[in-house]
C-alpha cells in the first residue's frame, strides 16, 4: 500500500517526456528512472518471480544483442570513412589535373584572364585543403607571375 501511494504522488508531480527521460533501469528489486536535469529517482518495488525471470531474459538478450549492434554500427562508420576518403582523393586528383591544364595553357600564352586566375586560386585552395602536395605550389607561383589580362586588354 505504501508503494501505491508513493507512486501516485510521484506520478502526479513528475511526468517524464520523451525529451527528459534518459533511461529506465530495472535491477533485482529496484526500478531506477533517470531524467535529464531532474534528480535521480529510485522507486523501490518488490519484483515478482515472473518479473525477475523476464528481467533476466531481457538482460541476457541485451548482453548479446548490444555488442552485435555496436559492431554493426562501427562497421558502417568504417565503410563511410573509406568511401569519404576515396571521394576526397578522387576530388584532389581531378583538381590536380585541372590545375596542370590551366598552368600549361596560360604559361604558354604568357598571360591569364582574371576569371581564370580566380578559378585557379580557388582550385588551388581546395586542393591544398584536401592535402595536395607542393608540386602545384610551384605552379601557383608561376601563375602568380603571369600578367593578368583584363576585359579591355
Residue 8 in this model has a pLDDT that exceeds 70: no
pLDDT in tens, 12-37: 444 444 444 445 555 555 555 555 55
Decide if 32 contacts 10 (C-beta within 8 A). Answer: no
Average pLDDT over residues 94-107: 95
Query: What does the block give as the cell for 18?
Result: 520523451
pLDDT in tens, 133-146: 888 999 999 999 98
Taking every pair of Cα atoms in the chain, the longest distance, rounded to a whole number of angstroms, is 96
Which of 59 and 118 is assigned the larger pLDDT?
Answer: 118
Decide if 43 contacts 32 (C-beta within 8 A). Answer: yes
C-alpha dist (Å) from residue 4 to 53, 60, 80: 23, 30, 51
DSSP string covering 100-148, please?
HHHHHHHHHHSEEEHHHHHHHHHHHHHHHHTT--THHHHHHHHHHHSEE
Amino acid at each position: 500500500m505504501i508503494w501505491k501511494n508513493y507512486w501516485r504522488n510521484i506520478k502526479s508531480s513528475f511526468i517524464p517526456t520523451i525529451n527528459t527521460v534518459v533511461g529506465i533501469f530495472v535491477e533485482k528489486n529496484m526500478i531506477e528512472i533517470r531524467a535529464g536535469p531532474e534528480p535521480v529517482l529510485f522507486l523501490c518495488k518488490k519484483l515478482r518471480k515472473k518479473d525477475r525471470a523476464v528481467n533476466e531474459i531481457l538482460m541476457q538478450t541485451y548482453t548479446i544483442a548490444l555488442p552485435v549492434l555496436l559492431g554493426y554500427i562501427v562497421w558502417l562508420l568504417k565503410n563511410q570513412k573509406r568511401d569519404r576518403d576515396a571521394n576526397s582523393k578522387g576530388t584532389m586528383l581531378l583538381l590536380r589535373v585541372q590545375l596542370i591544364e590551366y598552368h600549361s595553357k596560360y604559361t604558354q600564352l604568357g598571360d591569364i584572364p582574371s576569371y581564370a586566375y580566380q578559378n585557379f586560386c580557388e582550385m588551388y585552395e581546395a586542393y591544398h585543403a584536401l592535402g595536395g602536395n607542393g608540386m602545384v605550389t610551384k605552379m601557383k607561383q608561376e601563375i602568380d607571375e603571369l600578367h593578368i589580362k583584363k576585359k579591355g586588354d
